[in-house]
Structure 1
Amino acid sequence: MSGTLAVVSQSGNSLSFFDIASGQRTAQMTDLIPEPHELLLEEKRKVMYCSHAYHHGHFWAHGENGHQISIIDPDKKQVVNIIDTKPALGPHGLVLDRERDILWCSYEEHEKSEGGGLIAIDLETHKIVKRVGSSTKTHWFVVTPDGKKAFTCNKTAPFISVLDLENEVMTGKIDTPGGTEECSISPDGKHAYFPTPGTQLGKVPDKPEILVIDTATDKIVDRIALGGGAQSTHVAADGRILVAEYRFLDGRPANGRLSVYDPKSRGLIGRADIGQMPLTIRSSPDGKLGFAANIFSGSVSVVDVSSFKPLETFVVDTEKSKFSNLCQGAHGMVYFP
């Protein structure tokens, strides 16, 4: 077990680096722009991109929308540039299109029109070169491997938006009455996975499930029943579907579970106990390790996804936010081999 994990504290405005073999924090950046959310590594320029969604708070209750993406040198542990996403506000999800050398970013609102969508940022000029509206607040999204199509998680909205990225137009909606959470896509791009219903703080929803979307037909072709509500999915390199399930007992957060499903049978393979309110999930390139950011615990659980044995817990930031009175101490992550 080797490598480095970089993880942000949303409410602590910090970025920590952990040595996976020793479990030790090796470095910490403590002066990020408020509310760092998602992290993405770009190997070509050897930098990370970090979105800043709000000035403080969280999706359900927050201050003014952010409008920045930090560019971070992971070797120097420095912010080396800032991308301004205006007029797109509330940037969140990040997806890299290596072939076109652009960074796709979701946004929740726009200065000049209603609703959110996606923007494409040229990584040489840092200019916005495309914008595709989704007709509502957009939080996360997936892009097909050919870079032509996207499906958006709109959280509380009762639909998934289908976007044509080449022609910059929304082409359809997939009905999801309960809303959806963080989505993922299979390695071959044929299926996208959306947890539903949307997160309900204080309780586990009735009949939580993963919607399996056929990306060619834009249809729901299967449903994976879950044992608990889910805030996110992630597909490992071998195609296995990792799901972060949260739990509440008597209205109070309890430890969650990292559940793993087979991509063909879509049956449950195994589960591991993790921390409270797991949000972001990532995995090692070989698919052997799963990482779950437990936002209410302010920690990251490292799990062997073959034996489903928790291997390590990285304590990131356990302080409560002075604005929300919640611990929002672990969110976006990047794994370095």
Structure 2
Amino acid sequence: MSVQQGLWAVNNPTGTSGILGIDKLGDAIRFFDAETLVEQKVIPHKNHHELAISPDHKHAYASEFGKFFAGNFIESGMHISVLDLARQEIIHRIPTAPFKGPHAMRFDLDGNLWVIFEETGELGLVDTQKMELVQTYEIGAENGRPPFIEITPDGRKIYVSCKLGSIIVFDTQSRKVLTQIAVPKGTEGIAISPNGDRLVAAENSRQDLLVIDTATDQIVETIALKGAVLSNPKTSRLIRLRYSPDGKYLVSTNYASGVMHIHDAENLADHVLIPIAKGPQGIAFSADGKHTLISNHDCGLFTRVDLASGKAVDCVTAGKGIEAVTYY
């Protein structure tokens, strides 16, 4: 495995030790058995949203986003919780104040953690040895509600999606914004391909997938999703995206439509639509590459889907409303 592939695998983890989920509606962090999906432990803790698993799979980082309701932040989150995965306990909380709303996180080649602050708009860097936020960068996203980031497998670029603006491209060597990729209605979910040549982003108007060439930072293809529904653009359209560990599939979940898609990674327009349950969000992949696990945020379920056949094989009750989920 190359260094680049290793970094991609770090930021797209799987494993057999367990499943970790952030129960946003249930104000909890939940652990599950990786095979049976039986819940093992619950840590009551509110306002967390996203997850990152350390390269050695000893720790997880959970971002304390806060609470957003009716177009406003009604509670501001200003911490990242650090969990010991073996003990299934929170062992440290990294303060981020005055920077608010930490959301998506990605590791770099040095093992440090980049984080985007959705409420205040900065891109931050956490030193994972010191367990502290050591640097933040103004990237022009203070009014853009930036929810997600992706880092290229060579660690040189970070892509930032903005619900209310363009995709921002940040250079990790110069620590400056390189360019912006214009998307008038904004984007939410983004995913980088395993070899780093393509970024896929979901735009918020028609819910199309935008394929971006990372060499030129230009949109080279637009793909309409089967079953996408027209909905209020002022509310969350939230399409999440993730490539499978073997790079064979791209999975997309469509929160507004209650469906998911499995795409051929080599031809994203070739995709199957799978109705699952209300409010699908988180995407995880089993270590054997056979299944994807979807968290249905609005109805408290996990749905397990066979990737080869494109069929849902079972579902189980899982918390009240899990947003982010991962195997580790």
C-alpha displacement at 1:309, in angstroms? 2.0
Give me the whole-angstrom Cα distance separating, in 1, the residues matched to 2:196 and 2:101: 27
Identity, % of aligned pairs?
Answer: 27
Residues 3 and 21 of structure 1 are in contact (CA less than 8 Å); yes or no, is this contact kept in structure 2?
A: no
Query: Per-residue displacement from partner, 1:271-328 (whole Å, max 9, x unpaired)?
Result: 322221212222224432112222111222111111122123232233xxxxxxxxxx
SS in 2 for 1:183: strand
C-alpha displacement at 1:13, in angstroms? 1.7
Residue in structure 2 matching 1:10, options 6, 19, 24: 24
Residue in structure 1 matching 2:110, options 84, 100, 103: 100
Give me the whole-angstrom Cα distance separating, in 2, the residues matched to 1:292 and 1:45: 21
Query: Per-residue displacement from partner, 1:83-126 (whole Å, max 9, x unpaired)?
Result: 111232110001112x312011110244xxxxx13111110012
Structure 1: segments with no counterpart, 5+ residues: 111-115, 198-204, 249-255, 319-328
Provide the TM-score with structure 1 as the length reference. Answer: 0.83
RMSD value, Cα = 2.1
- Number of the residue aligned with 1:36: 48
Matched, 1:78 2:89: yes
Residues 289 and 304 of structure 1 are in contact (CA less than 8 Å); yes or no, is this contact kept in structure 2?
A: yes
Structure 1 residues 122, 3: closer, same or farther in 2, change over 3 A?
Answer: closer
- Number of the residue aligned with 2:58: 46
SS in 1 for 2:102: coil
Residues 170 and 179 of structure 2 are in contact (CA less than 8 Å); yes or no, is this contact kept in structure 1?
A: yes
Count of aligned pairs = 301
Structure 1 residues 119, 222: closer, same or farther in 2, change over 3 A?
Answer: same
Give me the whole-angstrom Cα distance separating, in 2, the residues matched to 1:171 and 1:263: 27
- Report matched runs for 1:215-226 at 5 Å: 215-226=214-225
Residues 157 and 172 of structure 2 are in contact (CA less than 8 Å); yes or no, is this contact kept in structure 1?
A: yes
C-alpha displacement at 1:3, in angstroms? 5.4
- Number of the residue aligned with 1:163: 170
Residues 57 and 85 of structure 2 are in contact (CA less than 8 Å); yes or no, is this contact kept in structure 1?
A: no
C-alpha displacement at 1:60, in angstroms? 3.3
C-alpha displacement at 1:333, in angstroms? 1.3
Letter of the 1:28 counterpart: V
- Number of the residue aligned with 1:287: 289
- Number of the residue aligned with 2:132: 127
Return the structure number with greater relative CO, CA threshold 8 A, min gap 6. Answer: 2
C-alpha displacement at 1:17, in angstroms? 1.8
C-alpha displacement at 1:128, in angstroms? 2.6
Residues 302 and 313 of structure 1 are in contact (CA less than 8 Å); yes or no, is this contact kept in structure 2?
A: yes
C-alpha displacement at 1:162, in angstroms? 1.0
Residues 18 and 314 of structure 1 are in contact (CA less than 8 Å); yes or no, is this contact kept in structure 2?
A: no
Query: Per-residue displacement from partner, 1:7-31 (whole Å, max 9, x unpaired)?
Result: 111132212222243232122222x
- Number of the residue aligned with 2:179: 172
- Number of the residue aligned with 1:90: 101
SS in 2 for 1:300: strand
Give me the whole-angstrom Cα distance separating, in 2, the residues matched to 1:279 and 1:37: 11
Range with greater deviation from structure 2 (147-156 or 126-135) = 126-135
Provide the TM-score with structure 2 as the length reference. Answer: 0.85
- Number of the residue aligned with 2:10: none
Letter of the 1:184 counterpart: A
Residues 130 and 168 of structure 1 are in contact (CA less than 8 Å); yes or no, is this contact kept in structure 2?
A: no
SS in 2 for 1:163: strand
- Number of the residue aligned with 2:310: 308
Residues 131 and 168 of structure 1 are in contact (CA less than 8 Å); yes or no, is this contact kept in structure 2?
A: no
Residues 23 and 312 of structure 1 are in contact (CA less than 8 Å); yes or no, is this contact kept in structure 2?
A: no
Residues 155 and 180 of structure 1 are in contact (CA less than 8 Å); yes or no, is this contact kept in structure 2?
A: yes
Residue in structure 2 matching 1:146, options 151, 154, 175: 154
Give me the whole-angstrom Cα distance separating, in 1, the residues matched to 2:319 and 2:310: 25
Residue in structure 2 matching 1:260, options 259, 262, 275: 262
- Report matched runs for 1:106-121 at 5 Å: 106-110=116-120, 116-121=121-126
Residue in structure 2 matching 1:331, options 318, 323, 328: 323
Structure 1 residues 135, 194: closer, same or farther in 2, change over 3 A?
Answer: same
Give me the whole-angstrom Cα distance separating, in 2, the residues matched to 1:138 and 1:129: 20
SS in 1 for 2:323: coil
Give me the whole-angstrom Cα distance separating, in 2, the residues matched to 1:59 and 1:290: 32
Residues 132 and 170 of structure 1 are in contact (CA less than 8 Å); yes or no, is this contact kept in structure 2?
A: no
Matched, 1:19 2:11: no
Letter of the 2:93 counterpart: I
Give me the whole-angstrom Cα distance separating, in 2, the residues matched to 1:311 and 1:127: 42
Letter of the 2:220 counterpart: V
